[in-house]
Structure 1
Amino acid sequence: MVGTNNIIAAIDIGTTKIVAILGEISNDGKLNILGMERTVSKGVKRGVIHDIELTIEAINEAVARLKEKTNKEFSTVYVGIAGQHIRIVKERKFKYIENSVEEITKEDIEQITNENYKHPVEIGEQILHVIPQEFVVDKEVGIKNPLGMAGRRLDGHFNIIIGRTASARNIEKCVREVGLDVEELVLEPLASSLAVLTKEEKEAGVVLVDIGGGTTDVTVYFDGVLKHTSVIPFGGDHVTKDIKEACSVFLRQAEALKVQFGEAVADMTSDDKVVTIPATGGWDEKDISFKFLAQIIQCRMEEIIDSVKFQVESTGLKDKIGAGIVLTGGGGLLTNLDILTQQRTNLDVRIGFPRNSKVNLEENIDHPMYSTSIGLLLKGMEKPKTKPVEKTNLNGNKPKKKKGFTAFLGSLFDTQDVDM
């Protein structure tokens, strides 16, 4: 938490935009959005920082405007991390229950989960999250929460999410340079799912497709648990560049064409509708048909959707996706994209807005492009409201924390209704 126990701040560092957002937990447990500021991102490519100085400049601008707008000071933030460097591995751990009553305690679950942070990773990598899949108590499988159960042996199946250390350090450096500390690095698809998906969807099986500027994140949930996450190296910016090249227009004109007139299904557009690009800088005006524009967009979106389909099939869960696909992110609102996605995947499709019941949203941020930003704040809500005083070792150093694990335990043992 930041400032006070009720204030949470987050920064979403994307390919096309950087969002700084501030929320406050009210007495009834709801999250009120105090303010949000957005700046253009120029130092990030495909979700990864490529220019430190440009990224620092953009973060500083967004944070300064947010502090001025809300008249609030904060010192730590939740920050998203994404990119093709993210990978997921499966692991299994077990321990024998050694207490006198042979009941599984919270400490037992912590111990078996913490063991996963010792999982060997490649040089230059670090573990971001450990996500339990299921527990087994004395060979009784399919247990989600073994707390308090009688048993002599506890097994756990886990998904370990691993990322590149350099990417994490670059994020932390950029945030530190504007006078803030990173409270926790959160996998962006995990954050988006908190804001967009319902508990029922996660139980039934659902695919979250977050279409950003530089990448598309794919996350698969089943039986209430994150089963798979991957990154497709294409996003809305690639559609814009396709339009620029095919129509021989400037990049800003291509973006305007996509946003204002773009559609994802060419057969559903009118044959006689035309948009005229005005003459500028000595260049003649140009007519572009809606049909041609849609054909360009559809070609790229089919490539992205087919990649999503491949990722889902690779999990072996395609026949168990009972809740279908949820499209979110800035690219999720492309006209008729839901129809194209349904046609190519044979799954039900809906558009995902950040409408978690825990959040009181203002109209200007009730948009799929802010799903990750809202989700980062929701991740912060999972932290304990009162931080324990950190113990200091004899050498004066603070013990290292396994970020992400405390938040998981908070949600695992939370008995409150988290439906949207």
Structure 2
Amino acid sequence: VKKAVEEAELMAAVQINSVYTGIAGSHISGVHSRGVVALKKQEVTRADIDRAIEAARSMAVLGPDRRLLHVIPREFMVDDQDGIREPLGMSGSRLEVDVQIITGAVTSAQNIVKCVNRAGLDVVDIVLQPLASSEAVLSQEERELGVAMVDLGGGTTDLAIFVDGSIRHTAVLPIGGQNVTKDIAIGLLTSQTEAEKIKIKHGIARVDMVKDNETLEVPSMGERPARTVSRRELAEVIEPRVDEMFEMVRHEITRAGYEGMLGAGVVITGGTSMLEGMPDAAERMLNLPARRGVPHGVEGLRDIAGTPMHATGVGLILHACHHSDEMVTAGGRNGRRVGRVFGRMKEWMLEFF
């Protein structure tokens, strides 16, 4: 961490004292809560909104092993009127808020902070990685229509569902690209290191997308010579695991009650989403339109961090900008400012990554 930051400082000509970090894993959980406050002046003020959110937060009982990560308003209600996104200035006597509370394991958060602190940096905020990724790859229209963002990582698959412009549900599924790598290693009798290389270079999620006579070299373990196998054989190893991933996503969408509410379909991102044929596999298993999400929102990124595997990193930058006093909009003055910094960092990023 320290080396990466030092090189980034040198190339970007800025001093870095504090950072935003991402967090993910099977320890993440989310619950709904509601808070109600009386309006003292019969008109909603910013202080009233903060009090309502705090009331909702206090209603959720967190154990000593849980750390609060986010309290995300889903909708507000003023008296008998519901479905309100921004109640500021509205008249009424009672303000209620429905929130999504996201927590993580205290130990996981502490380990992240310790690691960063040992590099001489302070942690400004710990951000749920699917939330960060969503800032980088989803459009506002998709959030309004209803969309499931599926972040396909190495060890887990993170799901975030947005409806009517707000996040409604999050889940972490215990399956990811590492499972595919292990399957390749076992199925093709090679090491996991070589299996990962094969997955990246030759992997494909659909058997019916393989062209005739496509082959690849598979290094054997030990002193045995490499073997030539068909790409179809590789696809036959990969496809069942990919189908299992999206079947778990489908089950979670149904279990959470959002089947039939995702008008914008599915956006897949993360390193595993770069596997050839993944959008097609998602569409087939989920019966929804699917696209591969690439980062947007910061100038100068397309040629250095314009792939799904960079979604979380770019999303953390946008999250930091959105929550900075200097930030107006991601695409405005500060978006260009961050873009210029990335322009100076281009050489470093290309070399480092």
CA distance in 2, matches of 1:280, 1:115: 59
> 1 or 2, which has the higher helix percentage?
2
Map 1:297-308; keep pairs closer than 5 Å.
297-308=238-249
Name the amino acid aligned to 1:67. E
Q: Which runs of structure 1 show a deviation greater than 6 angstroms over 4 or more consecutive aligned residues?
A: none
Counterpart residue number, 1:325: 266
Counterpart residue number, 2:338: none
Counterpart residue number, 1:62: 4
CA distance in 1, matches of 2:299, 2:288: 29
Q: Given that residues 43 and 91 in structure 2 are in contact (C-alpha distance below 8 angstroms), is that contact kept between their aligned partners in structure 1?
A: yes
Counterpart residue number, 1:116: 56
Name the amino acid aligned to 2:65. G
Residue among 26, 46, 53 paired with 1:84: 26
Counterpart residue number, 2:172: 231
Counterpart residue number, 1:181: 122
Counterpart residue number, 2:318: 378
Please tell me whether residue 193 in structure 1 is matched to residue 156 in structure 2. no
* Unaligned residue ranges in structure 1 (runs of 5+): 1-58, 387-406
CA distance in 2, matches of 1:221, 1:117: 21
- Encode CA deviations 1:10-35: one digit per residue, 9 max, x unaligned: xxxxxxxxxxxxxxxxxxxxxxxxxx
Counterpart residue number, 1:270: 211
The verdict on how the C-alpha distance between 1:78 and 1:342 changes in structure 2, with shifts beyond 3 A counting, is same
Map 1:109-258; keep pairs closer than 5 Å.
109-118=49-58, 119-258=60-199
Secondary structure of the residue that 1:240 maps to in structure 2?
helix
CA distance in 1, matches of 2:15, 2:104: 30
Comparing 266-275 with 159-168, which one deviates more in the overlay?
Answer: 266-275
Name the amino acid aligned to 1:103. E
Name the amino acid aligned to 2:108. S
Structure 1 residue 162, shift from structure 2 partner: 1.2
Counterpart residue number, 1:56: none
**Residues matched between the structures, number:** 330
The verdict on how the C-alpha distance between 1:120 and 1:280 changes in structure 2, with shifts beyond 3 A counting, is closer
Structure 1 residue 64, shift from structure 2 partner: 2.8
Aligned-residue CA RMSD (Å): 2.0
CA distance in 2, matches of 1:362, 1:348: 24
Structure 1 residue 362, shift from structure 2 partner: 4.1
TM-score, reference length from structure 2: 0.89
Q: Given that residues 146 and 265 in structure 2 are in contact (C-alpha distance below 8 angstroms), is that contact kept between their aligned partners in structure 1?
A: yes
TM-score, reference length from structure 1: 0.75
CA distance in 2, matches of 1:361, 1:384: 20
Secondary structure of the residue that 2:260 maps to in structure 1?
helix
Percent of counterpart pairs with the same letter? Answer: 37
The verdict on how the C-alpha distance between 1:254 and 1:311 changes in structure 2, with shifts beyond 3 A counting, is same
Q: Given that residues 194 and 219 in structure 2 are in contact (C-alpha distance below 8 angstroms), is that contact kept between their aligned partners in structure 1?
A: no
Structure 1 residue 360, shift from structure 2 partner: 3.6
CA distance in 2, matches of 1:117, 1:157: 10
Structure 1 residue 280, shift from structure 2 partner: 8.3
Q: Given that residues 268 and 279 in structure 2 are in contact (C-alpha distance below 8 angstroms), is that contact kept between their aligned partners in structure 1?
A: yes
Structure 1 residue 313, shift from structure 2 partner: 0.8
* Unaligned residue ranges in structure 2 (runs of 5+): 336-353
CA distance in 2, matches of 1:302, 1:353: 22
Counterpart residue number, 2:307: 367
Please tell me whether residue 106 in structure 1 is matched to residue 46 in structure 2. yes
CA distance in 2, matches of 1:71, 1:313: 49
